Amino acid sequence: GRNWTFVLYPESAKAEWLEYLKELHIQFVVSPLHDRDTDTEDRMKKEHYHILVMYEGNKSYEQIKIITEELNATIPQIAGSVKGLVRYMLHMDDPNKFKYQKEDMIVYGGVDVDELLKKTTTDRYKLIKEMIEFIDEQGIVEFKSL
């Protein structure tokens, strides 16, 4: 696959893990530190980062495993959707999870995170519906009043 993901736990990661990633000269996105995640029983999970690495061409599991072993990270998995994974890094689509901030992401190699985080068509229609409801509730009939 071209896009791979894995989890990195700061407590077991090598000290220079970010520099190591930069030296690969690839595109990558590191989530904000997930330090407020809870499990199904509402217990705090270990602090961790979600990392997405992206390549121009396909890379094998074995090639990516070399990286995760060097970082002391979890085993790699192919990222099914780059956009979905980046949105997950912030918990954008799960109302029951803590929301992390885009500004706390680490982005490298020219990744356009803003493009990946654009509102979905469903989100846009929901916002339009809310605007129409507001206009109706307020009795607004002139654009100037809006």
- Tokens 């949105």 — which residue? 87
Q: Is the pLDDT of residue 40 over 90?
A: no
CB contact set of 78 (below 8 Å; sequence gap of 6+): 1, 3, 4, 5
pLDDT tens-place string over residues 77-98: 999 999 999 999 999 988 889 9
Q: Mean per-residue pLDDT for 42-63?
A: 96
pLDDT tens-place string over residues 2-33: 999 999 999 999 999 999 999 999 999 999 99
Task: Please report the pLDDT score of residue 144 as a whole number.
Answer: 83
- What proportion of the chain, given as a percentage, has pLDDT over 90? 76
* pTM higher than 0.85: no
